[in-house]
Structure 1
Amino acid sequence: MTTGAASAAMPQTERVYQVTDRQIARWRQLRSLVFLVILTVAIFQDEPRPGLTGRGLALLAGVVVGAAAWLAMTLRLGPRLQPWATGVCMATGIFMTAARPGGYGAAYTLAAVTMATASLPLIQAAIQTGVATAALIVTHALVGTPLESIVIWAGVMLVVLLLGTIRREREARAEQDKALAGEQARTAALAERARLAREIHDVLAHSLSALSVQLETAAALLERDRAADAAVIVDKAGRLARDGLTETRRAVSALRGDPVPLPELVAELAAGYRTDLDAPATFAVDGDPRELTPEAGLALFRGAQEALTNVRKHAPGSAVELRLEYLPEAVRLTVRNHGPAGPPTTGLSSGYGLTGLRERAELAGGTVEAGPCGGGWLVDVKMPA
């Protein structure tokens, strides 16, 4: 996945989660309102019915207050109002149970307990549920409800509290999973950006920088009327440009996950050093070559490329030895130069060369070491096989 695709995928994933959460919330609100309508119709169909006189007026007041509290709970008008809404709805259920024993009034309390476990802090929801359950049991006992019914109502309240707690934990885990998925997507995007930055640096550092030097040299020769020498330099610059295109295609191929023909590429680097500088450069392969992962193969190739770039810069013309060793559990590349001058203390070119090479190797599980060795410099890259 490219950087652009990764960065574009993250907001899209988050939008999918947001739409899904909104749909679930709306469905729950609609379901709650449907239950309220069914309960209200059932209460008006039961005897005695709510009315404008006597007990009917008390029942009508209970229906109105209960419906208002139910709506406030369902719409979740605010964290400060929510505890009051659930408390009033619980109290309405207890009142309706006392006003009409054996009716549907306790359903208000049951709905309030369900909403409290879903929307209130767990301790607060447990306290409200406990108080409401105790009050409902006492009310049932005072109006002469059979003991079996009282036990059933108490058990239903407890089950609702437990189910609500389980649902809260499941939703909390889902939120954590969503946050983790978003963080993983962001991490993957950053890693992909770093990978692309390393590839861009490697191609530009080893192609365009050398091309710039050649063109500057050609310009200086032309100013001195040395057209023949300038033509030779321009020819080299053209070859560097073609090599840069090849490097670009190779980098794109590696980004796509294609295997890297490591021995052939390192041999080409050694041959290019011999041709360009007219200096000795040997390359040897120990062990049986085998296919590596694209990351490991590219890290070894970039190590050889970076090392030769430093030799060209700090000890041009010195003898170079490249060795590729296929060990049982690792593949090792060493680049050693012998010359009067050596690279600086870092052992690698300035800028992102050392950082990028080490990052590349570490991401693939390998190591990079560089330092003075026998009057020259040694770069040692080891990758797991």
Structure 2
Amino acid sequence: MPIRPATFPRAQGWLRWALVAVPMVAAMPRADALTWSLIGVTLALSLPLPWIHDAVLRPPMTALTLALIASTGALWVLHPGSWASVAMFSTTFFVVLKQSTVPIVLAIALDAGVITTWAARHDLWDDALSTYAVLAVIVLMALNRRARLARVEQTELALARAQTANEEHARAAALAERARIARELHDVLAHSLAGLSLNLQGARLMLVRDGASPDAVAQIERAQALAADGLAEARQAVAALREDAVGVERAIADLLAAYRLDTGARADLAVEGEPRELAPAVGTALVRAVQEALANTRKHAAQAEVDVTLGYAGGSVELTVADRQGRRPPDAAAAGYGLRGMGERVALLDGRLDSGPGEDGWRIHLTVPA
């Protein structure tokens, strides 16, 4: 079961922020009114940097990074001897590393414009060529790093898929063996016990007809009851082997693992309370709810992160599925067949289902008696 990632910024995030903040602090001793304004804007824009971990940033973060390049570039043009160029180039490296083609092109164009303005303002055209070369090296380094990270991710994904395939093969082999044992139990033991029960029934009727002693009839009835119990247990064993019952937590974790492999987005399960065995109908309702919620997320919010919480209370089980779209989704015009079917299944269990948009995505919450 995956563990939720820590929300505290990572070391790379702090380094990314420091490469912007330190040059701003260094520029403060020589700052005039305009410089102070640029420093304040840049520091304000840099505050979210430690918390950015997306593979491809959402539009607000894209605008933020481009604004950072513009503000640090303007400060560098005003004070060519400052470290503002470090902040500008480090932010460019991050944009090329993390973002899509259009933001990358815009960032490079901004850098080229800043360098051209810097050279024209201070008549440093001889140094402009080397600065363009520095920009090219930074872009190439970021592209190389990006390609390496993509190769590592593809390798990890291939290994995960291979492991999943191996597990599925092992599972299929185990299911085939269980099915073979179930057939043997059904064809041999269950049939034999059924025949024994019928013969004992006939023997009891013959003893009653012939006026046998009550003790003899009672012994036959006890033997018949034992045969019937054995037949019922054999049928239960066959059903258990055929069903291959899987725990609710494991089934939900498998669904989330498949979602992560398909989309590359984070999908975590948190279990609250003490897990316990649930009725088959309850377990099916919970698993089907997660399955339907993930299908809707794939359809309406591709690559959204998903958080699933399974809580065991005193006499009920609560399930919450929330996708993190980064914005409030529009209200659905009408519930689809999937949500309606989920609601009907929960209603049959005397449970309650709530679904609708939240602050940053769609949320489904259901409670069923356990």
* TM bucket normalised to smaller: 0.3 to 0.5
